[in-house]
């Protein structure tokens, strides 16, 4: 099993200020993005790319409680889930969204964690 990249996600009522702090204040390049692709009324956030990893900042709201989450992109989420279950952990999922298979866990200390892998693309 391979850990391919990390995503640190901050959901906060101060999302706009955090995006400005990271973008303007520290000078990191940001891609502004809607949370829901193709929905201009969706909450706006910022994504800061760091190689294959990234930091995502989103405003809190209905269905998006304030908090932080560590997302791990892996080569095979099903294999990681099987390993976790063998070790007595109870990952929730999978669910599929944005072209990924996603599992959820609560890590020690209460850190929300997901691990996901890209879904295979359909062959024509």
Whole-number Å distance between alpha carbons of 31 and 39 = 16
Neighbours of 105 (CB within 10 A): 19
Tell me the CATH number at 10.
3.10.180.10
Structural domain count, the chain: 1
Asked if the structure places residue 123 within a domain, the reply is no
Residue 124 has pLDDT above 50, yes or no: no
Domain that holds residue 59: 3-118
Counting residues of the chain whose pLDDT is more than 90, the rounded percentage is 54
pLDDT confidence bin for 43, thresholds 50/70/90: low
Residue 63 has pLDDT above 90, yes or no: no
**Cβ contacts of residue 71 below 8 Å, gap of 6+?**
6, 7, 8, 9, 113, 114, 115, 116
pLDDT confidence bin for 122, thresholds 50/70/90: very low
Residue 77 has pLDDT above 50, yes or no: yes
């Amino acid at each position: 099993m391979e850990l391919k990249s990390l995503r640190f996600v901050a959901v906060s009522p101060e999302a706009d200020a955090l995006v400005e702090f990271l973008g303007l204040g520290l000078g990191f390049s940001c891609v502004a993005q809607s949370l829901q692709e193709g929905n201009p009324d969706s909450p706006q956030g910022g994504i800061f790319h760091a190689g294959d990893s990234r930091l995502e900042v989103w405003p809190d709201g209905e269905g998006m409680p304030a908090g932080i989450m560590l997302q791990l992109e892996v080569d095979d989420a099903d294999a990681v889930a099987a390993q976790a279950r063998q070790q007595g952990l109870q990952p929730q999922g999978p669910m599929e969204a944005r072209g990924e298979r996603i599992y959820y866990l609560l890590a020690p200390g209460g850190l929300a964690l997901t691990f996901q892998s890209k879904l295979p693309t359909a062959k024509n």
